[in-house]
Amino acid sequence: MHFAICFMVFDVFTVSVLDFKCWFCFGTFFSSCVLLSVQFEDCTFEWLYWPQAHVPFEASTLEYIASLDAEQDIALLKEHGWSLRSTCARVFRISTMLLKKGAAAGLTPFAVGSMMCRKSFDKKSPIELMLEEAEEKMLPASNEQFFMTALAKIMDSYIKKAK
């Protein structure tokens, strides 16, 4: 018997949301945030392979996800002594944005998580492709807000295709 069967659907929702919120931290340990660019190629979630991840988020989880505020969380972390490098903060903003947009569009934890993970080592994940598209739209004088706005529009199109 696979141990994933022991988890209730709500437990998988909780773990998946926590993983999205904490990816910037795990990324620090696995060098995603150490590099100058944002990299998601090391992103994997064990729960993607569990049947419960294919169940749509329930109403209370959707409410919680909608309430997430990356800027507020970054400020809270800073208040408690965790000063994030700009690349780590960017990863945190991006993963929060993807979770919020995907959940609001009705995607399952599996569908949202699959956008962050590669299917194979040599094939980029959807989030990596989105980031490349957003970087291509950057002008020399562009700032982080311009990048995040461009990424949000690109992300919307990927999410629409995933539905």
pLDDT, tens only, 109-125: 999 999 988 888 889 99
Instruction: Give the model's confidence band at 5: pLDDT under 50 very low, under 70 low, under 90 confident, else very high.
Output: low
Q: Does 2 reside within a domain?
A: no
Q: Does 21 reside within a domain?
A: yes
Q: Report the C-alpha gap between 98 and 162 in whole angstroms.
A: 12
Structural domain count of the chain: 1
Q: Alpha-carbon dihedral of residues 145, 146, 147, 148, nearest 10 degrees? A: 50
Q: Which domain holds residue 99?
A: 8-162
pTM score of the predicted model: 0.81
Q: Does 136 reside within a domain?
A: yes
Q: Does 16 reside within a domain?
A: yes
Q: Does 1 reside within a domain?
A: no
